[in-house]
Amino acid sequence: MQTSRIPGFYNMTVDERRELLSKMSAFSEEDKAYLYAEKPLSTDTADNMIENVVGTFPLPLGLGLNFLINDKEYAVPMAIEEPSVVASASHIAKIVREAGGFTTEATERVMIGQIQVVGCQDFHKAKEVILSEKDTLINYMNTAYPSLIKRGGGAEDLDVRILNEDANSKFSQMLILHVYINTCDAMGANIINTMVEALAPNVEELTGGKVYLRILSNYPDRCLARARCIIPPDLLATEEFTGEMVRDGVIHAYEFAASDPYRAVTHNKGIMNGIDPVVIATGNDWRAVEAGAHAHAARNGRYGSMTEWSKDDEGNLIGELELPMSVGTVGGSIRVHPVSKIAHKLLNVDSAQELAQVIVAVGLAQNLGALKALATDGIQKGHMALHSRSVAIAAGATGEMIDVISQRLIEEKEIRVGKAKELVEEYKK
């Protein structure tokens, strides 16, 4: 899309939004048929994706708007069931774009494959042998995946560690190989697993040990994406709070998360509120992204905040987020799920690196949305107003009744299913 700034999108009907989207995007008739279908994922396709299929489980797909990242516009597809996430991301993205937008960067896409060797007679000697044969082993692995080399990727480096050397350790001593593999635009789990499995017999031969596990690590700390924003305080002001008050509240909220794991978990869950929906919409493995993100939050030996918030000498609020981001633009179910294919078209990213950068920018926006609300009115004011529609539906409201009941719940400041049921009964009389 040429612009992600679409004033009034929120107030349009779904049909109006679709019409606008069709005009702004390079969608084919087939894309539209899938995206706008009541059941975009057919049972046949689903049955080919996983086992024991009995149906499909659709999620709402919304657009995170206003994202300006490295001077490029992004309308971000987000698949999520939780109200207020898309609205909050879009609200913060609007503020950040007024401040010049997000700046992001990503490292090379180097993922990690692990090989576990036990039972070596001399672990140090085994380590030396592996390191002395490093180039041969790397070349061997690359012969197992020649297409990756053709794309400019492949195995690039190899490391060896010995675990549980302490004689008092209750665990077996083991040699762990780390193979660093550039998986280009794929997340790379299957690619890596194929390569490390191919290498295992050579490793056994060289070390005299027995290889057990051969699998990728879901903590790819050489495959990082970073997002940053710098916001003048006046852009943060609300009716009741000055920009400086909001900025300081955000920084104090960050300091709380950085100092307390109980708070850090909730703080980081809010970040993943933004990240997971994009990962899901683009057909990526959100369990892998979640696992890596939380491991990164604990990289200093203690679980802490994924983001950092500070102020500069001019008083601007500075936000930063760095996360491992094992996502792809090809592979897995990305080109299998019809809506994920369309999500990629909509997002218009050229590479996995670019996708990773968009995802961390959304995570940073989502975090600021939550912290800004928490540091001012509290999270419930905005959240519950949006949640009221789900409450009305849960209480049995349908069609036009949903708006009426949801409005009454907000007015009466009682957004509960019990109250909604009473109102539904009253409405039906």
Q: Measured between alpha carbons, how far is residue 152 from residues 67, 149, 279, 330 in Å?
A: 30, 5, 25, 15
Which of 70, 333, 390, 407 forms a contact with ligand NDP (CB under 6 A)? 333
Cβ 223 vs Cβ 111: under 8 Å: yes
Query: Could you tell me which of 228, 215, 160, 219 has the C-alpha nearest to residue 189?
Result: 215
* Site pattern 146..165 for ligand NDP (x: CB under 6 A): -xx--x--------------
Structural tokens at position 271: 């970040």
Which of 160, 186, 211, 281 forms a contact with ligand NDP (CB under 6 A)? 186
82 in active site: yes
Task: Work out how close the CB of 59 gets to ligand NDP at its nearest, in angstroms, rounded to a whole number.
Answer: 17
Closer residue to ligand NDP, CB minimum distance, 77 or 292: 292
**What are the start-end ranges of the H helices in 50-122?**
85-98
Q: Taking CB under 6 A as the rule, does residue 276 contact ligand NDP?
A: no
Q: Taking CB under 6 A as the rule, does residue 290 contact ligand NDP?
A: no
Closer residue to ligand NDP, CB minimum distance, 175 or 186: 186
Closer residue to ligand NDP, CB minimum distance, 62 or 188: 188
Q: Taking CB under 6 A as the rule, does residue 187 contact ligand NDP?
A: yes
**Candidate list 337, 341, 383, 387, residue with the active-site label:** 383
Interface size with ligand NDP, residues (CB under 6 A): 21
294 in active site: no
Tokens 């996502």 identify what position?
Answer: 327
Which of 62, 101, 331, 338 forms a contact with ligand NDP (CB under 6 A)? 331
Tokens 């007679």 identify what position?
Answer: 121
Q: Taking CB under 6 A as the rule, does residue 288 contact ligand NDP?
A: yes
400 in active site: no
Secondary structure class of 318 (helix, strand, coil): strand
Q: Taking CB under 6 A as the rule, does residue 184 contact ligand NDP?
A: yes
Q: Taking CB under 6 A as the rule, does residue 374 contact ligand NDP?
A: no
Which of 332, 338, 363, 369 forms a contact with ligand NDP (CB under 6 A)? 332
Secondary structure class of 65 (helix, strand, coil): strand
End-to-end CA distance of the chain: 47
Closer residue to ligand NDP, CB minimum distance, 187 or 368: 187
Which of 77, 104, 219, 285 forms a contact with ligand NDP (CB under 6 A)? 285
Closer residue to ligand NDP, CB minimum distance, 270 or 283: 283
Q: Taking CB under 6 A as the rule, does residue 188 contact ligand NDP?
A: yes
Phi, psi of 337 (to 5 degrees): -75, 120
Range 52-71 burial, b when 16+ CB lie within 10 A, else e = eeeeeeeeebbbbbbbbbee
272 exposure class (CB count in 10 Å sphere: 0-12, 13-18, 19+): buried
How many angstroms separate the CA atoms of 332 and 312, rounded? 42
337 in active site: no
Which of 41, 79, 96, 189 forms a contact with ligand NDP (CB under 6 A)? 189
**Helices 134-143, 123-132: crossing angle, 10 deg rounding:** 70
As annotated, the active-site residues are 82, 269, 285, 383
Task: Write out the residues near ligand NDP by the rule CB under 6 A.
Answer: 147-148, 151, 183-191, 216, 218, 285, 288, 328, 330-333
